[in-house]
Structure 1
Amino acid sequence: MIPLNPLANLATHEVTNMPPHLGDQDLWSGDLALREGIKREGGGWAADKLAVFGRIAGSAEIFEKADQANKHTPEIKTFDRYGMRVNQVEFHPAYHDLMAVAIENEVPSFAWNHPQPGAQVAHAALTYMFNQPEGGVLCPMAMTYSAIPPLRMAGAVGDEWIPRLLSTSYDPRDIPVEQKSGATMGMFMTEKQGGSDVRTNTTRAVSDEDGYRLTGHKYFCSAPMCDAFLTLAYSEGGLSCFLVPRWTPNGERNSLNIQRLKDKLGNRSNASSEMEFLDTWGVMVGEEGRGIRTIIDMVQGNRYYCCFSSAALMRQGLVQALHHTAHRTAFQKKLIDQPLMKNVLADLAIEVEAALTLTLRIGRAMDEAEGDESAAALT
């Protein structure tokens, strides 16, 4: 919240030559490149929704909640007060508020809930605007969005989970997903010894009567309070993909043992953990031994989020720089009027627009990929 009437006359000096609080931003109407790009790449039919969300995401209230969520970082709660294992992560209320805003406005689900030309482009715009105040909640949003393509190839498993992921209701309760109004999904792949080289993974999956039991570890597990995760493990037929839920079908907590939370430089509102599997229950997704091919569609979706989330950070950095330089004077001129500063700001603006333009073009290619080989080559 912007403070009311802060005191500028201090005991030793008067505060002058400082910019005013930026306050509410309209992230849609104030961004000509975004509005033109959405129309150019086929997402103009979503302009009304984007206009409404641009005011929501750009409000000073949302920026304040983002500050709170990153200042008061997640805390691990491995055991309850009586020493029984719960494997939970607790978040500041502002984080849950931001999650609700994102899910209720279809940040993880828009493209799938509105399948038509331009859907991926409009989806990118929603995330581009929301990432400007807060990127931490975009991690579970990205993974929930990108889990849909591999789950569509998963038969009954996909039929069960996809409607939950496309819900516009945020339900943070740690209970079996059958009792919830909506769900989110994460992805665990890397291990200590290999990192991105997932073929060096050592986690094993053994078939039992109703699924598989996984034993091993994962070294980078973000958003560990998601309702389920896609992960990789070696089964008898090779490296395969598995869906591992927080709760087993019989209503018991699954063996997803959080070891610790990462201490990160950024993205601090989002919990990133290390986890061990010990006879952890899961079901295979996709063809056995083709785990990388199955999960790569989810990886691709996350990379798409990385594109427009990075562009969003660049855009908000430019907005802040323009605001600051327009209100601060040095050497008898506003900073924004100083020749060298003009050059710097112009360079920033060009880079921002280039990043946005490329991202929206990729979105159009994703929309057209199914029937256009040249578009598919861009995705």
Structure 2
Amino acid sequence: MIGRGQRVIGAATHYVENQPPWRRDVDEFALNTPLVGAVEALGAPWARDELHEVGALVGSDGFQRDAVLANTHAPVAWPHDRWGFRLDEVEYDPSYHRILGAAVAHGAHTSAWADPRPGAGVARAATFMLFAQVEPGHACPVSMTHAAVASLQEAPWVADEWMPRLLSREYEPRLLPNEEKRSALIGMAMTEKQGGSDVRAGTTVGVHMGGHTYQITGHKWFCSAPMSDGFLVLAHTRRGGDEEGLTCLFVPRLLPRGMRNVFRIQKLKDKLGNRSNASAEIELDGTVGFLVGEPGRGVPAIIEMVQRTRLDCVLGSAAGMRQSVAEAVWHARGRAAFGAKLVDQPAMTSVLADLALESEAAMLTGLRLAQLFEDQASDRDVALRRLATPVSKYWVTKRGPQHAYEALECLGGNGYTESFPLARRYREQPVMAIWEGSGNVIALDVLRALTKDADSADAFADELATTSGASDVLDRHIERTFELLGSMAAASDPQSQARRVSEALALAFQASLMLRHAPSLDAETFIAARLGDDRGAQYGVLPVGADAASIVSRH
């Protein structure tokens, strides 16, 4: 007679052993101890209950399944209907709408604008990261809607009608007449074949039609989230026979009484990642748009929007790092090799600890930036964010792809398959470094802020001074960084040092934040691993004697 638990040889083809359980139905906020502490320390303890609600939602089996479906069933463009009439719509999988609807319902888009109390930016950033941790593609329209508020405030002839919709927590995916629709999402269409980051090289033209109205003709090479309700575009405008210059215009998908604006979706981009979200090539041909800001002042009109989308690039990268750490640690705790759990084997423990430190530093960077964008921000905060935003966007987004790869490797062959989320994350992380200015563009923005905005440089120095004396290694790094700034100012080719300076400033910023908000073990290990004399070039090269196990246990 066979006893309970005894194995019968040949009774089954195989047994599944030595595999971790599914990582599902968890509270992603509660499990992220560093995030819980940072939300408290940076002014948003009042948001804990809703963040736990969001954490349980995005950690649920249903939400994770929707994340898979939304990326498996990519959007489809329908430029014409069955009779050949222009339709210009994009069809998404229902899972994408469920994810986007949940993010909007919890204020991941504009809650900081709708309720601008202290800590609102931090709470919104934490919400955004929790959603983007599990499904990043939907974060594109969420981010652009958040950022567009800053620009549209400068156009009351648009804002009076549209702002209540942007601040709404309802989600309506259909193209309904504006008179019937109580919510809205905003996209962008800036990039052209001719220019890329050089927006002044674009050829789109807007002709003044009277009042604040222009008629636009041109082609946009990348239009983000083309089923949004309205878009910010750049065009070279004319009034009468006069050239006004590069101007920012707001293009609604629908005109009064449900009439469709000319917004021709030519094709969808076949992208490396970000597959749940559509990006399109579009044609504007006699399209109606409305002035935002002043004629010929298009770049200043969108600069605050750009700063906020760059903030969200940092948050999105940090969210991806958190997913990578969570999945890698979960796997290492549930799988054994060579007689011990992976998490207890020193080589693996060092890698996991190093990945965790990178994730925490990125998260703190994102939340500190979000705090600087809050409604109550001081003049010094505004000056600091002008430099800290491009500095952080440059560095954190650059660290994302390699971080995802190293975490993927922790899962071995499973990590390389699409059945696990880290293959998708590895393909996703590069977009944060490319969107809103790739590396050189951002590094040159850092250089521009340093040379043309003395208040920003002073504010950054003040920020670093808050931890002066707390770490000899960091103090020496900051001293070397300012020496580099001095020599660069006198150099004939300062652009050649733009990346070096951006990296040095970013590491100083992160190290200072870790000293203020992370346990001393984590902060000191991070500083030694990034700035110390024996630092390594790869993840997992920690200082001799580092307590990697304690760092991992906190994450």
Q: Which has more strand, going by share of residues? A: 1
Structure 1 CA distance for aligned equivalents of residues 229 and 255 of structure 2: 11
Corresponding residue SS for 2:288: strand
Counterpart code for 2:91? E
Counterpart code for 1:34? L
- The one-character-per-residue Cα deviations of 1:130-181 (angstroms, maximum 9, x if unpaired) are 1111011111100111110111111221111111111111011112222112
Counterpart code for 2:214? Y
Q: Which residue of 1 aligns with 2:180?
A: 179
Counterpart code for 1:129? L
Asked if 2 retains the 8 angstrom alpha-carbon contact of 1:104 and 1:168, the reply is yes
Asked if 2 retains the 8 angstrom alpha-carbon contact of 1:369 and 1:375, the reply is no
Q: Which residue of 2 aligns with 1:148?
A: 149
Counterpart code for 1:82? W
Q: Which has more helix, going by share of residues? A: 2
Asked if 2 retains the 8 angstrom alpha-carbon contact of 1:78 and 1:85, the reply is yes
Counterpart code for 1:148? V
| Structure 1: tracts of 5 or more residues without a match | 1-8
- Bigger shift: 363-372 or 234-243? 363-372
Query: Kindly, what percent of the aligned residue pairs are identical?
Result: 47
Any residues of structure 2 matched to 1:1-379 within 5 Å, and which?
12-209=13-210, 211-236=213-238, 237-367=244-374, 370-379=377-386
Asked if 1 retains the 8 angstrom alpha-carbon contact of 2:178 and 2:258, the reply is no
1:16 deviates by: 2.0
Corresponding residue SS for 2:179: helix
Give the structure, 1 or 2, with the largest relative contact order (CA under 8 Å, sep 6 or more).
1
Asked if 2 retains the 8 angstrom alpha-carbon contact of 1:368 and 1:376, the reply is no
1:250 deviates by: 4.9
1:119 deviates by: 0.8
Asked if 2 retains the 8 angstrom alpha-carbon contact of 1:366 and 1:376, the reply is no
1:10 deviates by: 9.2
Structure 1 CA distance for aligned equivalents of residues 60 and 268 of structure 2: 30
- Bigger shift: 49-58 or 227-236? 49-58
Matched residue pairs, number? Answer: 371
Counterpart code for 2:176? I
Corresponding residue SS for 2:231: strand
Corresponding residue SS for 2:256: coil
- The one-character-per-residue Cα deviations of 1:348-372 (angstroms, maximum 9, x if unpaired) are 0100110011111111222277423
Corresponding residue SS for 2:192: coil
| Structure 2: tracts of 5 or more residues without a match | 1-9, 239-243, 387-555
Counterpart code for 1:14? Y
Asked if 1 retains the 8 angstrom alpha-carbon contact of 2:177 and 2:257, the reply is no
Structure 2 CA distance for aligned equivalents of residues 358 and 319 of structure 1: 19
Structure 2 CA distance for aligned equivalents of residues 107 and 311 of structure 1: 15
Asked if 2 retains the 8 angstrom alpha-carbon contact of 1:368 and 1:375, the reply is no
Max Rg structure: 2
Counterpart code for 2:290? V
Corresponding residue SS for 2:15: coil
Counterpart code for 1:222? S
- Bigger shift: 14-23 or 109-118? 14-23
Counterpart code for 1:36? G
Asked if 2 retains the 8 angstrom alpha-carbon contact of 1:28 and 1:50, the reply is yes
Normalised by the length of structure 1, the TM-score is 0.95
Counterpart code for 1:243? F
Corresponding residue SS for 1:179: coil
Asked if 1 retains the 8 angstrom alpha-carbon contact of 2:118 and 2:376, the reply is no
